[in-house]
Amino acid sequence: MISRIKTTVAAVAAAAALSTGAHAEPGQRIPETQTVRNVVLVHGAFADGSGWRGVYDDLTARGYRVTIVQNPLTSLADDVAATRRAIARQDGGVILVGHSWGGAVITEAGVDEKVKGLVYVSALTPDVGETAFEQYADFGIPSTFVIDEQADGFGFINLERFQEGFAADVDDADAAFMRDSQVPIAMSVFTTPLTQAAWRTRPSWFIVATEDAAIDPLMLRQQARKIGAEVREIEASHVPMVSRPREVADVIDQAAISASRNQ
């Protein structure tokens, strides 16, 4: 009887492990001959770089050098400057990755000659002269995503609606921590026009989170088509790098392999 119980528990545990990307084993190590080995990760609004931890662990286990940008979220210029500082520290080619608002940041910063490819994760992709806010024109902001703007012009995601709109597939404890450790963003960033569009000159990959409640998945697909990106759809909330890190890491790995072959 005890043996049967142990077998059942083991089977349930194995099934649970297979059902989530968070505990999956990282992919195989990259070959020594691969030329693009640096990855720079750029977070979005209302968050900091810690959301990339699962992706970081996976990619470093594969042999990548991974740098995580800590955006101040005070202006487009400030976030771009922080990203450029991270790129400048890299020895060799870089895959530049941006989540959400971070997509606008990598679009502006990604024209650096070290950047060999761009990966957008449920992200915004403005063109030259466009703002992030203009990307929503045909779709609007989902009703599930509620921003409370403060008197000083900085915004937070509404506390009561945070998990629903931002991290619906993240467990309650982790979602609560993300909610209570929010980094406010200057709302003016969303109306600042871009002066560069790196996706016009760099190969791009785009992760569409099909259950995204912060950016309409139809809008994400339109963004991906606009920039001619290679698309990967992942069944996840707005934060697939948190809930499905293995799958996000796989796309970044694919981008680095492709960029290495094309150098």
Question: pLDDT, tens digit, for every residue of 141-188?
Answer: 999 999 999 999 999 999 999 999 999 999 999 999 999 999 999 999
Rounded to an integer, the average pLDDT of 203-211 is 98
Rounded to an integer, the average pLDDT of 107-131 is 98
At residue 21, the pLDDT reads: 39
pTM: 0.90
2 has a pLDDT exceeding 90: no
Q: CA of 157: how far to CAs of 124, 167, 223, in Å?
A: 18, 11, 23
- Helix, strand and coil content of the chain, in percent to the nearest 5, comes to 45, 15, 40
At residue 26, the pLDDT reads: 62
At residue 263, the pLDDT reads: 75
DSSP per residue over 77-124, as a string? HHHHHHHHHHHHT-SS-EEEEEETHHHHHHHHHTTSTTEEEEEEES--
Question: pLDDT, tens digit, for every residue of 101-110?
Answer: 999 999 999 9
Q: Which domains does the chain have, with CATH numbers?
A: 35-261 (3.40.50.1820)
Question: pLDDT, tens digit, for every residue of 36-82?
Answer: 999 999 999 999 999 999 999 999 999 999 999 999 999 999 999 99
At residue 27, the pLDDT reads: 73
For tokens 């084993």, name the residue. 25
What does the block give as tokens for 119?
């990966």
At residue 1, the pLDDT reads: 39
CB 52 within 8 A of CB 240: no
At residue 25, the pLDDT reads: 56
